[in-house]
């Protein structure tokens, strides 16, 4: 049932009595008391409640608070009119209300200087949360320069990395690089993002970040290490694009030669050129590699011999090769039948010809044949098997011979198919490439 309002006479002037009470969103709204006539007493709603939880405008609240206390001071209590005999209560109340107004309305202003910290980033133990709060507070300090900001950001990122919070690390540093695109330390932040993706086994995404840093951001030296150098080393391992790998190796060689093993870089560059079929560039890379004979190439124990063979073969006339294995075999057997050391010498490969025992593995340094076959043939009848050894295949073959000397009578002549794609006229032909001493194991 609707409540009726009570008319309370007010012993003040009509102008002062004609007060507007603004309507505010409250649990029980305040109704505006407006006089129907200037000669009639105003109707005042005494059902005034104030639920501070729903106040959105603090200034309005203060206004109504002052109006309510003004009525009390003027003697407007319940339904009876109380005449104010002394202004002292009113003065005291106004002083108190002025302080209240400054407190309530000033809270918003004083709170505006408070640093907001996203709770998403506050994780871990109580001690760790306190540390992160302190770091984020320092990060928002107004007097930070670029170096101070970098130090704080790095500590926050390291905290996330230590606690394996890689998603938060990525989110935090990505936000920094987007919000501050001109930050001189963005290349380091992107490096940390790439590292986080690697820890999450998102290697293709990490590779994109490494590539982005090298191609679009200036290099930085952190703790004596180049960021671009670190990115290039990672990209060489992560990239499956051979053209891109060539560019990465070229960058390493041209920019960081004092800090890398040039032997490894040149040899692997040659290998990469081979994979895309650029044989001339591969030979040039191998030629550079041969200057660093002491370099140990991981995964390539015979790297030096391979590179030397490629370079020497490329620089030779290649006039000892045969179009097929049967043609080569027939020429060798004919020279043996005639005991012609001269003809055998002409058939023998002019570069990379080796002599070794079966006990030597391929990684051992072979003995380059520099001897006269006539010394071993003189006074001896050299015989050979009717057919090739059973271990022969489509790329290499062995022919057993014997009667060479009293110390090591048996020799296996080694023939191989030439692999040299840079010269299609030579690639796929056959050569007599070496000799194995003794009986085959």
Task: Identify whether residues 128 and 48 lie together within a single domain.
Answer: no
Residue 159 within any structural domain of the chain: yes
User: Between 91 and 40, whose confidence is greater?
Assistant: 91
**162-205 residue pLDDT tens:** 999 999 999 999 999 999 999 999 999 999 999 999 999 999 99
The domain of 249 spans 119-260
Helix 227-238 and helix 186-199, axial crossing angle in degrees, nearest 10: 30
Indicate which CATH number applies to the domain containing 134.
1.25.40
- 80 and 124 together in one domain: no
**Contact of 84 with 74, CB cutoff 8 Å:** yes
Which residue matches tokens 């070229």?
250
- Whether residues 124 and 254 share a domain: the answer is yes
- Total domains present in the chain: 3
Q: What is the CATH number of the domain that holds 390?
A: 3.10.450
Cα distances (angstroms) measured from residue 287 to each of 307, 313, 420: 7, 12, 16
What mean pLDDT is reported for the chain?
A: 79
Considering the domain architecture, whether residues 170 and 107 belong to the same structural domain is answered as no
Cα distance between residue 63 and residue 7, in whole Å: 23
| Nearest in space to 234 (alpha carbons), one of 201, 216, 211, 218 | 211
Quote the CA–CA distance of 233 and 224 in Å, as a whole number. 16
Domain final position from 111, 142, 177? 111
Over range 247-268, report the average pLDDT.
Answer: 96
In the predicted structure, residue 147 carries a pLDDT above the cut 80: yes
Q: What are phi and psi of 434, to 5 degrees?
A: 180, -175
Q: Using pLDDT thresholds of 50, 70 and 90, give the confidence band for residue 157.
A: very high
Query: Taking Cα atoms as reference points, which of 228, 227, 297 lies closest to residue 262?
Result: 297
pTM over 0.85: no
* Residue-wise pLDDT tens digits, 287-327: 999 999 888 999 999 899 899 989 999 999 899 999 999 99
User: How far is Cα 205 from Cα 185, in angstroms, rounded to an integer?
Assistant: 20
Domain end point (choices 236, 260, 284): 260
**171 and 129 in a common domain:** yes
Assigned domain for 353 exists: yes
pLDDT band at residue 8, thresholds of 50, 70 and 90? very low
Say yes or no to pLDDT of 149 above 70: yes
């Amino acid at each position: 049932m609707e409540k009726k309002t009570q008319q309370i006479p007010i012993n003040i002037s009509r102008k002062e009595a004609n007060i507007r009470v603004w309507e505010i969103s409250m649990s029980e709204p305040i109704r505006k008391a407006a006089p129907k006539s200037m000669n009639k007493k105003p109707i005042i709603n005494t059902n005034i409640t104030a639920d501070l939880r729903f106040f959105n405008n603090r200034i309005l609240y203060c206004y109504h608070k002052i109006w309510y206390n003004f009525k009390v001071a003027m003697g407007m209590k319940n339904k009876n009119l109380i005449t104010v005999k002394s202004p002292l209560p009113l003065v005291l109340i106004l002083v108190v209300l002025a302080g209240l107004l400054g407190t309530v309305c000033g809270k918003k202003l004083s709170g505006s200087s408070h640093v907001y910290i996203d709770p998403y980033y506050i994780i871990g133990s109580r001690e760790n949360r306190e540390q992160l709060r302190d770091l984020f507070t320092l990060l928002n300090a107004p007097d930070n320069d670029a170096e101070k900001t970098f130090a704080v950001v790095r500590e926050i990122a390291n905290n996330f990395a230590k606690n394996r919070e890689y998603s938060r690390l990525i989110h935090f540093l990505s936000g920094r690089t987007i919000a501050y695109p001109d930050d001189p330390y963005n290349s380091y932040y992107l490096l940390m993002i790439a590292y986080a993706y690697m820890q999450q086994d998102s290697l293709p995404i990490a590779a994109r970040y490494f590539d982005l840093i090298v191609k679009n951001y200036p290099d930085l030296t952190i703790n004596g290490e180049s960021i671009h150098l670190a990115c290039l080393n990672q990209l060489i391992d992560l990239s499956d694009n051979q053209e891109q790998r060539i560019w990465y190796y070229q960058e390493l060689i041209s920019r960081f030669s004092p800090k890398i093993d040039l032997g490894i870089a040149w040899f692997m560059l040659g290998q990469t050129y081979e994979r895309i079929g650029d044989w001339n560039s591969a030979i040039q890379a191998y030629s550079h590699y041969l200057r660093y004979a002491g370099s140990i190439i991981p995964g390539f124990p015979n790297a030096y011999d391979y590179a030397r063979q490629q370079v020497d073969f490329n620089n030779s006339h290649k006039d000892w090769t045969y179009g097929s294995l049967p043609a080569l075999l027939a020429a060798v057997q004919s020279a043996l039948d005639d005991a012609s050391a001269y003809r055998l010498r002409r058939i023998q490969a002019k570069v990379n010809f080796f002599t070794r025992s079966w006990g030597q593995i391929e990684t051992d340094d072979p003995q380059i044949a520099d001897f006269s076959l006539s010394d071993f043939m003189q006074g001896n009848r050299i015989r050979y098997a009717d057919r090739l050894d059973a271990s022969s295949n489509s790329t290499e073959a062995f022919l057993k011979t014997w009667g060479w000397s009293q110390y090591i009578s048996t020799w296996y002549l080694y023939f191989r198919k030439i692999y040299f794609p840079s010269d299609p006229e030579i690639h796929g032909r056959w050569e007599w490439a070496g000799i194995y001493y003794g009986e085959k194991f």
